[in-house]
Amino acid sequence: MKQTLIIVLILFLLSCSKEKELIPNEPPIAPEQWEKFAGNYKIYDTLGVYLYDLDMIHYFSGKNVYGNDVDSLILQNFADTFDVKYEFRNFTEPNNFDFGFHDSIVDRNNKTWGLWSLSDDLTTTARENYLINDTIILYFKMDNIKYYIPEAQPYYRCECKHVAVKQ
């Protein structure tokens, strides 16, 4: 009996050990703002009809002509018409999506346009040009008023809304 008690006591003492000190992991590096936008998107009209595919690709990281650190994105197949390169802007509200104003942008058919990113449409409850989960309602204006006569094209103007869903 005494031997059993000693064996149990030894096993008990051997099973006790100092708690291992956990080494804290380095906090994960927060992604750049542009990274949450980059990816492949399926584009739909506001009624849910599929229109086209859009790719947002990181294009350039470095200094711009003013010496500021910038990142640039390419919107490949934007509006099923353009490949748009633009300097990504970091906003205080990190989910804003604004690709700016592009005058004299040439489409795949060598026709010239004006293309504008519009601000949120206050007449709707949806929030345009803002990333929510994996979706952005792209709100923009396309217009060829300066170019349609010299290029012998029909006049076109659109305040368009396309729903982009990240894949």
Q: Is residue 54 part of a domain?
A: yes
Q: Is residue 69 part of a domain?
A: yes
**pLDDT tens per residue, range 87-106:** 987 777 889 999 999 999 99
- Give the predicted TM-score (pTM) of the model: 0.78
Domain limits at 81? 32-161
Q: Is residue 113 part of a domain?
A: yes
- Domain count across the chain: 1
Q: Is residue 86 part of a domain?
A: yes
pLDDT at 13: 60
Q: What distance lies between CA 124 and its chain's CA centroid?
A: 22
Q: Is residue 138 part of a domain?
A: yes
Classify residue 136 as exposed, middle or buried by CB count within 10 Å of its CB (0-12, 13-18, 19+).
buried
Are the CB atoms for 142 and 79 separated by under 8 Å?
Answer: yes
Tens of each residue's pLDDT in the chain, 167 residues = 667 666 766 666 666 666 666 666 777 787 888 999 999 999 999 999 999 999 999 988 888 889 888 899 999 999 999 999 999 877 778 899 999 999 999 999 999 999 999 999 999 999 999 999 999 999 999 999 999 999 999 999 999 999 999 99
- Could you tell me the two tokens for 121? 């449409």
Q: Which residues contact 45 (CB under 8 A, 6 or more apart)?
A: 51, 161, 162, 163
Q: Is residue 6 part of a domain?
A: no
**Residue 65 DSSP code:** T
Q: Is residue 19 part of a domain?
A: no
Q: Which residue has the tokens 């982009």?
A: 164
Q: Is residue 21 part of a domain?
A: no
Residue 128 is which amino acid? E
